[in-house]
Amino acid sequence: MPSKFRHVALFGKYQAPAGSADALAARQTLDEIAQFLTARGCRVTLERDSATHTDLTQYPTLTVPEIGRHCDLGLVVGGDGTMLGIGRQLASDGVPLIGINQGRLGFVTDIPLDAYAATLAPMLEGAYEEDHRSLIQGRVMRDGECVFDALAMNDVVVNRGTTAGMVELRVEIDGHFVSNQRADGLIVATPTGSTAYALSAGGPLLHPSIPGWVLVPIAPHTLSNRPIVVANAAEITIEVVAGRGASANFDMQSMASLLHGDRITVRRSQHHVRFLHPKGWSYFDTLRKKLHWNEGGS
């Protein structure tokens, strides 16, 4: 059957130095997948930086914004970090994304590289599960003005500085005072981000269908400061009260050197990321595999 998707954009992981064994392997992988897509009637375009860094010149290229306007599917070959960056950029265009795992964990790039052909073939014909992931719209407000604005798919993290000592944070939800927290920091994570930094800091796992955020203190001074789940319709405000050198991180995007009185606001973005998974995909299967839970039983 011909592919349901006519124009497919291919994204690669290209952090390896040019000419290295990793770079050559990335080039070979992208070229092989591009040929696979072409054989199924897809028009293939490479994301421009992926093409440049892998020296693949035989395919047309587009920038990420151009892909958002012209392509009807994005195929990301890499790890979760690669997918996070592409997902944030394409969310407003509604382009669905499929992830082929060339990284380590692969919570959202969930198709094994060595099984991509058998897995992708039915998906291209329309046999897939669609999974929508919420995004955080985060801002740093200083004296009433926005000095930093970014989307995050995983989390917003307010961290203490590199010097010894904690940071003191005032937390409000929908304008209501919740707590003053003295800790190494505070994480506001989406369900997607609940398997990232929030998990290592002791936070709960949130199923992607849950419309919520999880607030996870990092090494809190008061042990009764526990993770809490709140509705993602709420606006969360974190004010820096005390502590030196604090910073805010929006996924991998940073706003360093927060000042006392800076307010980090977190709200649900109007956009979401569309992931496509193989037919029969289950979030719990992903957790069991990636977190090495006991796979016994009937």
C-beta atoms surrounding 275 within 10 Å: 24
Instruction: Please report the pLDDT score of residue 3 as a whole number.
Output: 78
- Distance between CA 287 and CA 9 in Å, rounded? 28
- Distance between CA 216 and CA 225 in Å, rounded? 9
Among 83, 104, 126, give the residue marking a domain's end.
126
Residue 117 domain-assigned (yes or no): yes
- Distance between CA 35 and CA 15 in Å, rounded? 23
Domains: count for the chain: 2
What global pTM score does this model have?
0.92
3-class state of residue 254 by DSSP: strand
Residue 296 domain-assigned (yes or no): no
Note whether 120 and 150 are same-domain residues: no
- Distance between CA 237 and CA 170 in Å, rounded? 8
Instruction: Please report the pLDDT score of residue 26 as a whole number.
Output: 82
Contacts for 268 with CB less than 8 Å, ≥ 6 apart: 134, 135, 136, 137, 232, 233
Residue 34 domain-assigned (yes or no): yes
The CA–CA distances, whole Å, from 219 to 160, 165, 185, 243 equal 11, 12, 7, 15
| Helix H or strand E encompassing 69 | helix 64-70
The amino acid sitting at 170 is: R
Bridge partners (DSSP) of residue 169 are 181, 240
Residue 109 pLDDT greater than 60, yes or no: yes
Packing angle, helices 21-39 and 116-124, rounded to 10: 40
CB-facing half-sphere around the CA of 253: CA atoms within 13 A: 19
The amino acid sitting at 100 is: I
pLDDT, averaged across the chain: 92
Note whether 161 and 180 are same-domain residues: yes
**pLDDT, tens digit (0-9, with 9 covering 90-100), for 151-192:** 999 999 999 977 768 999 999 999 999 999 999 999 999 999
Residue 258 pLDDT greater than 90, yes or no: yes
Residues 103/81, Cβ–Cβ less than 8 Å: yes
Residue 287 domain-assigned (yes or no): no
Residue 298 pLDDT greater than 60, yes or no: no
**pLDDT, tens digit (0-9, with 9 covering 90-100), for 52-107:** 888 888 999 999 999 999 999 999 998 888 999 999 999 999 999 999 998 677 88
Average of pLDDT values for 44-57? 91
Sheet holding 228-231, edge to edge: 228-231, 212-218, 185-189, 155-159, 247-250, 253-255
- Distance between CA 232 and CA 152 in Å, rounded? 13
Q: Lowest-pLDDT range, 182-196, 203-217, 282-296?
A: 282-296
Instruction: Please report the pLDDT score of residue 30 as a whole number.
Output: 94
Residue 80 domain-assigned (yes or no): yes
Q: Which residues are catalytic?
A: 80
Note whether 113 and 192 are same-domain residues: no
Q: Which domain holds residue 180?
A: 135-270
Residue 29 domain-assigned (yes or no): yes
Note whether 12 and 108 are same-domain residues: yes
Note whether 101 and 157 are same-domain residues: no
Which CATH number characterizes residue 23's domain? 3.40.50.10330
Confidence of residue 252 (pLDDT cuts 50, 70, 90): confident
**Percentage, residues of the chain above pLDDT 90:** 76
| Helix H or strand E encompassing 22 | helix 21-39
